[in-house]
């Protein structure tokens, strides 16, 4: 007998960088470890600010969080270990996953893994429980932050 996960979707509109940060921070406070967050959005959408908010919610100094475009993976110790991964500079496919040792990172149940530009993983088999967060907008207009996750999303309040 298999139990299917119910996917919940929530959308929040952010009117500023500080609001984007706050949404991430609220999410970070609720994370318990083992979460995999696939973060999507165009350049300038506020992905790094959102990750800074998650980091703050995990007790990590937001100033230590930068886009890992050149280093690919930035680990940040806090209440939980945060792996911030950026695949922007990699070609699509399994080589992207191998370039960041994703197989090793995903087994850490005491960590939170955030993967920017996760579409570059191609057909890499991600666990079903991975969260998908999309940020739309470029700063000139309100950002739409869409969160899709399993039942755990029910316990998190994203609206003000």
Cα separation, 159 vs 4, in Å, equals 27
Residue 1 within any structural domain of the chain: no
Per the structure, the count of domains in the chain is: 1
Name every residue whose Cβ is closer than 8 Å to that of residue 83 and which is 6 or more positions away in sequence: 73, 74, 75, 76, 105, 108, 111, 112, 113, 114
Specify if 155 maps to a domain: no
Its domain, for residue 120, covers 18-148
Which SS3 state, helix, strand or coil, does residue 27 take?
helix
Question: For residues 44 and 139, is the Cβ–Cβ distance under 8 A?
Answer: yes
Q: Does a structural domain hold residue 4?
A: no
CATH number reported for the structural domain that contains residue 24 in this entry: 3.40.50.300
Cα separation of the two ends of the chain: 39
Report pLDDT digits (tens) over 14-63: 999 999 999 999 999 999 999 999 999 988 889 999 999 999 999 999 99
Q: Where are the beta strands (DSSP E) in 28-137?
A: 36-40, 73-76, 81-86, 111-116, 131-136
Residue 112 located in a structural domain: yes
Asked if residue 156 belongs to a domain, the reply is no
Residue 129 falls within a domain, yes or no?
yes
**What is the per-residue pLDDT across 64-83, written as a single tens digit (0 to 9) for each?**
998 766 678 899 999 999 99
The whole-angstrom distance between residue 131's C-alpha and the CA centroid of its chain comes to 8
């Amino acid at each position: 007998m298999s139990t299917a996960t119910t996917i919940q979707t929530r959308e929040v509109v952010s009117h500023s960088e500080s609001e984007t940060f706050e949404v991430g921070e609220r999410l970070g406070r609720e994370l318990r470890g083992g979460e995999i967050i696939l973060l999507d959005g165009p350049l300038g959408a506020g992905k790094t600010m959102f990750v800074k908010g998650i980091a703050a919610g995990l007790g990590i100094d937001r100033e230590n969080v930068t886009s890992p475009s050149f280093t690919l993976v930035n680990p940040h110790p806090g209440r939980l270990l945060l792996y911030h991964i950026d695949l922007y500079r990699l070609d699509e496919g399994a080589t992207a996953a191998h370039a960041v040792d994703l197989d090793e990172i995903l087994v850490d149940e005491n960590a939170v893994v955030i993967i920017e530009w996760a579409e570059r993983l191609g057909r890499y088999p991600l666990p079903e429980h991975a969260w998908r967060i999309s940020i739309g907008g470029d700063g000139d207009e309100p950002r739409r932050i869409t969160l899709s996750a399993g039942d755990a999303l029910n316990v998190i309040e994203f609206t003000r």
